[in-house]
Amino acid sequence: MAKIIDGKVVSQFVKDGVKKEVEALREKGVSVGLAVIIVGDDPASRTYVNNKKKACEAVGIISEEYALPEQTTMEELLSLIDRLNHKKSINGILCQLPLPKHLDEKLVIENIAPEKDVDAFHAINTGHIMIGDYSFLPCTPAGIMEMLKYYDIETCGKNAVVIGRSNIVGKPMAMLLLQKDATVTVCHSKTANLKEITERADILVAAVGKEKFVTADMVKEGAVVIDVGMNRNSEGKLCGDVDFSQVEKKASYITPVPGGVGPMTIATLMKNTLTAAKQQNAKRIF
């Protein structure tokens, strides 16, 4: 039976560290501020934004919410981002995705100042990740790496398989595992013979968006299974991409949903916002 990787415990550990540093900065007269933009009233996005605001409060980061109506224009959104890019008390800017269809997500991301891009979605920041020289890492993959470290899970020389190739999770996840000396395979919707690849994985990361996509027959005995999925089942209950009750019998470690990767994403956002504040105030701190 697999050991549970407890995202609540690891995220608390990360947030405790952030909180201490935020307090130390405050004693030096430096505050840490995060702007959270939400456009429209998608219920899932509203929940994520509320959780991010709660986490800010818990670690002493000042959060400012900008809730814009569904019909907001590109011009209005870019004008807000420009204002926040120049606002001294704001160190990080997060625009909750997905945006309503009429808005251009790529253009929105490219207009956030890279030094305030605490999601690490800007092309400059993704480029830094590619060469292994970065300030911020995308919150979900970095949170997963933090969990592996906390549980002392070796990545060096291991076969890691990532299912999913999104810019937010799959691609950066592969890059971070590669930087930690894993041999990485990225699978996606067009991958042939998926099971043949996943059953060789020592570390299997599922970021697909489909309930019970990863079944026990796809998993190697003793594998570490990381579930990034956030799906709703037929009863409306939150569930991941992995058939947890069957896969936990085969894996050595497994993340649950909820309580696995989700809390880590938010903890990393807190860490990135702190990093942004330290960089922007470097002359005042040292």
Q: Enumerate binding residues for ligand GUN (CB under 6 A).
A: 94-97, 119, 139-140, 265
Nearer to ligand GUN, 265 or 275 (CB): 265
Shortest approach of ligand GUN to residue 167 CB, angstroms? Answer: 11
Strands 92-95 and 62-68: unpaired
Residue 34, beta-bridge partner list? 63, 92
No. of H helices and E strands in the chain? 11, 11
Tokens at 249, concatenated: 């019998």
Closest distance to ligand GUN from the beta carbon of 94 (Å): 5
* Residue nearer to ligand GUN on the CB measure, 115 or 202: 115
Nearest in space to 51 (alpha carbons), one of 63, 39, 41: 63
220 is catalytic: no
What distance in Å separates the CA atoms of residue 66 and residue 256, rounded to the nearest whole number? Answer: 32
Toward ligand GUN, which CB reaches closer, 218 or 230? 230
Find the shortest distance in angstroms from Cβ 187 to ligand GUN.
21
Cis peptide leading into residue 43 (ω within 30°)? no
Find the helix or strand (DSSP H, E) in which 232 lies.
strand 231-232
Q: Residue type at 283?
A: K
Instruction: Give the nearer residue to ligand GUN in terms of CB position, either 166 or 279.
Output: 166
- Indicate the residue among 50 and 215 with the shorter CB distance to ligand GUN: 50
Two tokens at 117?
A: 């891009």
Give the shortest CB-39-to-ligand GUN separation in angstroms: 11
Report the C-alpha gap between 163 and 188 in whole angstroms: 6
> In degrees to the nearest 10, what's the CA dihedral of 74, 79, 85, 87?
-150
Q: Are 90 and 36 in contact (CB under 8 A)?
A: no
Q: Tell me the pairing of strands 183-187 and 203-206.
A: unpaired
Q: Which of 15, 52, 116, 158 is catalytic?
A: 52
Active site residue 96: yes
Contact, 171 vs 129, CB < 8 A? no
Name, in order, each residue with C-beta under 8 angstroms of 271's C-beta and a sequence gap of 6 or more: 14, 17, 18, 142
Give the active site residue among 15, 116, 117, 119: 119
- Catalytic site includes residue 52: yes
CB of 95 to ligand GUN, least distance (A): 6
- Min dist CB 2 to ligand GUN, Å, is 26
For 102, phi and psi rounded to 5 degrees?
-75, -5
| Closest residue to ligand GUN using C-beta atoms | 97
The nearer residue to ligand GUN, 255 or 281, going by C-beta atoms, is: 255
Catalytic residues: 52, 96, 119
